[in-house]
Structure 1
Amino acid sequence: MGTTLPGSVTVRAPGKINVFFRVGALQDDGYHDVASLYQAVSLYEEVTAVAADDFSVRFTGPIDSGALPVDDSNLAMRAARLLAEETGHRGGVALTILKRVPIAGGMGGGSADAAATLLACDELWGTGLGRNGLLPLAARLGADVPFALEGGTAVGTGRGDELSPALAKGTFHWVLALSDGGLSTPVVYRALDQHRDDHAGDLGPQPDLVKVDTAVLQAVRIGDAESLAEAMHNDLQAAALRLAPDLTRLLELGESRGALAGIVSGSGPTVAFLVGDAQEAAELRSVLGRAGVRSLTATGPVPGARILDAG
């Protein structure tokens, strides 16, 4: 080949908001069919990969990552090992992850790490799969990993990993209100299933297959924040609010102080407030700050994993 491989590669990949999330009936295998509309937002994880004999990962950045695993249970480590296995690459990699996406916040930070790692190692090792070749590996790592690779706006169906891009224009402005405690995704799902069982008489049977509402797709297609605010929905929200009642007060605060709408992102506990523009985002952020709530602003949609530096 004759090409010189880079000594290090840095890739950034975005976190995401689920602006719509519908959950079908509990299946016999313990999974649910889901339908979601993902939007990649301008909160990025950055992964720097350096060639090494073995595999390692460490974290830096503004987010407290002390509780994150740095062994083979870490999704980025699994991504690097999977690529090495699939391509027969014999070396390892030292990964440094600059974290900016809240941890256990339903925003797909770990999935962004895995997507960025796949792209970085593919470039670092010269394994040459490219984005399209990496997508099947991404899907094996988790439902949100292919989306972090692709970015933009997309509909996820099945287990959430069958992606199709959605037409989108314009820019949406978000204020992300962070909670100190995390919520466990399996626990939130169990609470949803329990609620549905307890209220089966009122709720009726849940459909096995679910889809994204047309109103949501239409709102992102025309880039209209007010339409999107009306159409946003998350089936997991009620369960998350029961497990973390403070989130209800947080939603009410944001919606009473200028947000077009608020939604629990994924299984929570991050609350995403949709606002009209950057000025409104700044105003809401200062309201939340005075109430003792940490928050970030972000815009979407943004592209998926991208190489920032290879040298």
Structure 2
Amino acid sequence: MSELVDLPPTVRVRVPAKLNLALCVGPLADDGYHPLTTVFQAVSLHDELTAQEAEPGDFSVAMSGEGIDHVAMDDSNLAVRAARLLAENYGDDRLGVRLSIKKSIPVAGGMAGGSADAAAALLACSVLWDLDIDPEELREYGAELGSDVPFALLGGTAIGTGRGDKLVPVLSRGSHHWVLAFADFGLSTPAVYRRFDELQPEGCDLEMPTELINALSTGDSEELARHLRNDLAAAAIDLQPHLRTTIDAGLECGALAAIVSGSGPTVAFLCRNEEAAVALSVTLGAQDVARAVRRVVGPVAGARLITSCA
């Protein structure tokens, strides 16, 4: 008879990518950051993180999938930093974790893949270590790691202000169908912001995008398409002109609107319905304008526990 093997406690979390339906960027402030008014939407493209109990002081990460050759596997990895942040704040030197991440969110794609993994690590470790943390406190830890981390925990649709980390949920009826065009190159977020500062030294206005929010409340994709906005798009296209070719191809093939996702280079095309999204994905996939295309819907939930095995 084979002996039973005691496996370390394990927690699995799924976490979504995000789109910025509006990204309004103010001038560079004295603290080195740009004030933002943004409308986030979580979409059905997920990374999956597994956290397994490890020896005290052992914090490690292994990754598979999309773009992992460009991700650090040491203590600078954002998911590892998230785990260490929780351990340090709870002052327990008996804690340790081995993280494993299956990536589908593109790396350096403007969809907050690293922030999503940090959010997943925060949630997974809080459950694995049985820490008494409420969702708001977890989002506060997330804000210490990056401005997109709190939204990855929250999910749905939300307005972000400040650096994007101060969140207010937004009523969004129904679902919106998107086709994502993934580039075969990345874009550095700091580089895009630097180019933005050169192109727009005075920044842009930070007025609340009320017409976009109203379109979300009615679930009208055609109305939403009229009000998508990304102040970083011109800088991203200036650094990577091929993005204009991708955008033009999608619009010519029937998309309601196109928007560069965050700092790019992923381009998101809003479609009228699921049928239109299927047709666009097939047409774009047959053209040499993107490395790959993917259909997604939004909004979806933020980081969520899949399994917990003690």
TM tier, shorter chain? over 0.9
Q: Secondary structure at the match of 2:50?
A: strand
For residue 194 of structure 1, what is the aligned residue in structure 2? 198
Are the equivalent residues in 2 in contact too, given 1:104–1:182 (CA < 8 A)? yes
Aligned-partner residue type, residue 31 of structure 2: D
Partner residue of 1:13 out of 4, 12, 15? 15
Are the equivalent residues in 2 in contact too, given 1:6–1:310 (CA < 8 A)? no
For residue 125 of structure 1, what is the aligned residue in structure 2? 129
1:69 aligns with 2:79: no
CA distance in 2 between partners of 1:237 and 1:29 (Å): 23
For residue 4 of structure 2, what is the aligned residue in structure 1? none
Residues 206, 117 of structure 1: alpha-carbon distance in 2 compared, 3 angstrom cutoff:
closer
CA distance in 2 between partners of 1:139 and 1:233 (Å): 24
Residues 118, 206 of structure 1: alpha-carbon distance in 2 compared, 3 angstrom cutoff:
closer
Aligned-partner residue type, residue 285 of structure 1: S
What's the TM-score once normalised by structure 2's chain length?
0.93
Partner residue of 2:240 out of 244, 264, 278? 244
Aligned-partner residue type, residue 240 of structure 2: A
1:163 aligns with 2:161: no
Alpha-carbon shift at residue 239 of structure 1 (Å): 0.7
**126-135 vs 219-228, which moves further:** 126-135
For residue 213 of structure 1, what is the aligned residue in structure 2? 209
For residue 36 of structure 2, what is the aligned residue in structure 1? 34
Equivalenced residues, count: 298
Q: Secondary structure at the match of 1:240?
A: helix
CA distance in 2 between partners of 1:113 and 1:179 (Å): 21
CA distance in 1 between partners of 2:208 and 2:247 (Å): 23
Q: Give me the identity figure in percent.
A: 51
1:51 aligns with 2:53: yes
CA distance in 2 between partners of 1:291 and 1:85 (Å): 49
For residue 229 of structure 1, what is the aligned residue in structure 2? 225
CA distance in 2 between partners of 1:276 and 1:156 (Å): 26
Residues 28, 130 of structure 1: alpha-carbon distance in 2 compared, 3 angstrom cutoff:
closer
Aligned-partner residue type, residue 265 of structure 1: S
CA distance in 2 between partners of 1:98 and 1:306 (Å): 15
For residue 200 of structure 1, what is the aligned residue in structure 2? none
Are the equivalent residues in 1 in contact too, given 2:70–2:107 (CA < 8 A)? no
What's the TM-score once normalised by structure 1's chain length?
0.93
Are the equivalent residues in 2 in contact too, given 1:138–1:145 (CA < 8 A)? yes
For residue 296 of structure 1, what is the aligned residue in structure 2? 294
Alpha-carbon shift at residue 289 of structure 1 (Å): 1.1
Alpha-carbon shift at residue 91 of structure 1 (Å): 1.6
- 1:101-140 maps to which residues of 2 (within 5 A)? 101-140=105-144
Alpha-carbon shift at residue 25 of structure 1 (Å): 1.4
Aligned-partner residue type, residue 297 of structure 1: R
CA distance in 2 between partners of 1:32 and 1:135 (Å): 20
Q: Secondary structure at the match of 2:226?
A: helix
Q: Name stretches of at least 5 consecutive residues in structure 1 with no aligned partner.
A: 198-204
> After TM superposition, where is structure 1 displaced by more than 6 Å over at least 4 residues in a row?
none
Structure 1 vs Structure 2 CA RMSD: 1.4
Are the equivalent residues in 2 in contact too, given 1:6–1:124 (CA < 8 A)? no
CA distance in 1 between partners of 2:12 and 2:167 (Å): 25
Q: Secondary structure at the match of 2:104?
A: coil
Aligned-partner residue type, residue 224 of structure 1: D
Alpha-carbon shift at residue 206 of structure 1 (Å): 4.1
Alpha-carbon shift at residue 252 of structure 1 (Å): 0.7
